Every structure is written in structure tokens, then in C-alpha cells.
Amino acid sequence: MGKVKCAIIGSGNIGTDLMIKILRYSDILEMSVMVGIDPTSDGVARAKRMDVATTHEGVDGLIAMEEFKEIAIIFDATSAKAHLYNYDRIKAFPNKQMIDLTPAAVGPYLIPPVNSSAIEDVDNVNMVTCGGQATIPMVAAVSRVAKVHYGEIVASIASKSAGPGTRANIDEFTETTSDAIEKVGGAERGKAIIVLNPAEPPLIMRDTVLTLSEQADKDAIRKSIADMAAEVQKYVPGYRLHQEVQFDDIPEDKPVFIEGLGYRHGLKTMVLLEVEGAGHYLPAYAGNLDIMTSAAKATAEKIALMKYQTA
């Protein structure tokens, strides 16, 4: 079977790391065009050195290229605002699939081990956020054992791994992740917090996941979490539990107040995670970027097999 051609819009950290992953490690995807807006960006320069066609004229430059006709999958690694324009231009062309790595959330949320069926019959899927990719699988793992009233995640990333795009999208990060905790993770109410850690030397991505659910078998929850972590590790080897899962019973006579839900009691579950990057383009501490690009690559490969590859 021939490889499926793809393009990346956004020649920053995320786009460049994704390009390298595709070039080096995908048997299904073929890197066709790297799209930027700065002709001096490192991502565009690297693409040229790796014999990948480039344009520094954004999505309009991509559409004008001869290569565009054969491109099936287009990754957007720009910003939430830019994605609205990019998708508006691309959707006019048939048989083009967009994979959105911004928090724009135009298409349905996609967390590979949780809801891969969301890629069917849509031309745009949203990869949520780095924090969402790391933590929502854990909320979903609890949800498949017990009803989750509330899910809260705190994503701590090295300040050095947060580029201009990430910093410009902080509000969208929290809103999109909170929404996906509910829609994909299965929580009645979700909340997301991001922390940019300025520590030197930079620390790898750390995530805390808290859920309040109905009472359930703790061993069943532990197993569900371990199984889900193993699924994520298939495409992000540096994803792991930092400590054992912790539980706390919230008795009926001492409930906690959850905004929008009122008082709830049940089982509190805490999952502590860390994500170490593969170091393909950026240092290992940038696990927040690695999990996004790895999830996007895994999603694109599944889409390619489902929609585009023929024997």
C-alpha cells in the first residue's frame, strides 16, 4: 500500500517535532509539505534540509502548490484563531482531512485510546490539548468503572517548552480541556489548570488528575487506570504513573460542594502522572509537546488506514 501524503501548517516546535516523527517513524504517512509564515523559521529550514517541500505563505501558499492536490491529511499546529481561517480555506476542497492540534475545537475531540470512533465521517478532529491528551484517559478510566461527578486536572509543564502558540492559547487551553473532560472523559463537571514551571533545570511534564465518583471497587479502578496507561504507552512510551493511585472516601454526611452540581459525596481518586518526551526534536522534558504530536500521528495513521489507503 502506498503512503498517504500529508502537510503540516505551523513550523514551530509542535509542527517540527511532528514532521520528524512522520519522516522517521511512520510506515503509513508521507510528509509532503511544511507550511509556515516565517521563511527563516527553524522548522522551514529543517524541512528543506530533509527534502520536504515548503511554503512560508501560510495555508493560501499551500493551496497554491502543485503538491496540494495529492495531500489527504493536513495537520494544523498554529493557534486557535489561525485554525478558524485555515479550516475555512481547506474545507472547500473535497477529501481533505484536518487534524487540529490547537484548542480551537471546531471538530469533535479526539483522545486515541478513549474515542477513536470520533474520526468517522468528519473532516476535522481536534486533539484537545497536551494536558487533555495526558489526563483525560485517566478520567475516562475511572468513568468506565463508576459515574464521575467531577474531574479536575492540573498540568505542569516546563516554561521552556511553552512556545508563543501555547502562551497565546492559555484561555482556550483551560476551556477546551475542561469541556473535553466532560464530553470525552465522562465527568459531569470538569476543570483544567495549566502551570508553566520556570524551574532550572527544566522539569518534565507532570499531571495531577482528581475525580469524585460514586463509590466503586478500588481494585477495579486501579486496573482500569493501569490498562488505560498501557494503551497510551503504545504511542507515548514516556507516559507513566508517577505514584500509586490514591483514594479517599468522601462520606455522605461530609459532602463537598462542586460549583454547578451542588454537594456530592463518594470516592475521590487521585492519579499522578509524568510524561517524558522522546527527544525527537526537543529535549525530553518537553513531554507536553511529545504527547500532542504522538497522539496526532497515531490519529492520522488510523484515519489513513480507514479512509485513504488502498491495497
| Separation of alpha carbons 250 and 211, rounded Å | 12
Give the strand pairing for 205-213 and 266-275: antiparallel
Query: One of 130, 138, 212, 304 is an active-site residue; which one?
Result: 130
CA nearest neighbour of 173 among 189, 149, 157: 157
Q: What are phi and psi of 33, to 5 degrees?
A: -140, 135
Q: In what order do the strands lie in the sheet with 4-9?
A: 53-55, 29-35, 4-9, 73-76, 97-100, 124-126
Is residue 225 within 8 Å of residue 148, measured between CB atoms? Answer: no
CA angle 40, 43, 44 (to 5 degrees): 55
130 catalytic residue (yes or no): yes
Q: Distance between CA 258 and CA 236 in Å, rounded?
A: 33
Residues tagged active-site: 130
